[in-house]
Amino acid sequence: MEVLRTEELTKEYGFGENKVIALDHVSFSVEKGEFVTILGPSGSGKSTLLHLVGGVDRPTHGQVFIGGQSIYKMKNRDLTVFRRREIGQIYQFYNLIPVLDVKENISLPVLLDHKKVDQEELQKLLEILGLEKRADHLPNELSGGQQQRVAIGRALISQPQLILADEPTGNLDQKNSLEIINLFKELNEVYKQTILLITHDEKIAGNSSRTIRIEDGKIIEDIRR
Ligand SMILES: Nc1ncnc2c1ncn2[C@@H]1O[C@H](COP(=O)(O)OP(=O)(O)OP(=O)(O)O)[C@@H](O)[C@H]1O
Ligand SMILES: [Mg+2]
């Protein structure tokens, strides 16, 4: 089953002499259960691609389909709700809310959706994340790796179709990086979570089931393992 498809996805910034083509007619698709890493030099268009797939930014040209739905054909308000339910986003800096504890930070997308959090599901998620004993702590009482696990929990709580991660280990030491990557592997292998993850690290890419290389806004290689 296809979870994601982009068609001729293009993003230009600026005008005239200042025009930058950050993404240049990129087309690819991702099946349910794939763990895709995106590799490429700085400035090659990786974050731009993730932003467009995540519905954060609008393309200059082209389309993004998630679960068969063309996301940029939706009204803004519908897209906001769709993103909250179907796309989990994880960044290098965890973007947690400092005054909310671990449980509350993870629950946030569901609460914003005016829904009740299933406490059993939340407990299960805390265990998968290894955060059971930290559930009532504030972000500043956690290590970097733990904070990133909270951000991953927040991305997972709505059981989204797709997880997007932009260098999620970029701010972590080797030990914590390894733990986070192992967590992504487990989410993919055990829970069949579809993941699209940007990294600079070839070793991390080696842990995924498919690697897409980007240069100058274009896909130059797409390898499945
Ligand atoms: N808001 C913006 N305005 C103008 N140019 C931009 C903007 N955002 C990105 N760019 C340009 O688009 C190109 C792609 O940027 P992008 O952030 O996608 O690269 P990246 O592959 O994520 O790089 P890095 O590995 O350094 O994070 C770059 O040339 C960048 O300067
Ligand atoms: Mg980037």
Determine which residue's CA is closest to atom 18 belonging to ligand 1.
45
Homologous superfamily, domain 2-224: P-loop containing nucleotide triphosphate hydrolases (3.40.50.300)
Residue 14 CA, closest ligand 1 atom number: 4
- Could you tell me which of 205, 154, 160 has the C-alpha nearest to residue 35? 205
What is the per-residue pLDDT for 163? 98
Report d(CA 49, CA 137) in Å as an integer: 34
Residues framing ligand 1 (Cβ under 6 A): 13-14, 20, 22, 40, 42-48
- Tell me the two tokens of residue 103: 């449980």
Which pLDDT tens digits describe the chain residue by residue (225 residues)?
999 999 999 999 999 999 999 999 999 999 999 999 999 999 999 999 999 999 999 999 999 999 999 999 999 999 999 999 999 999 999 999 999 999 999 999 999 999 999 999 999 999 999 999 999 999 999 999 999 999 999 999 999 999 999 999 999 999 999 999 999 999 999 999 999 999 999 999 999 999 999 999 999 999 999
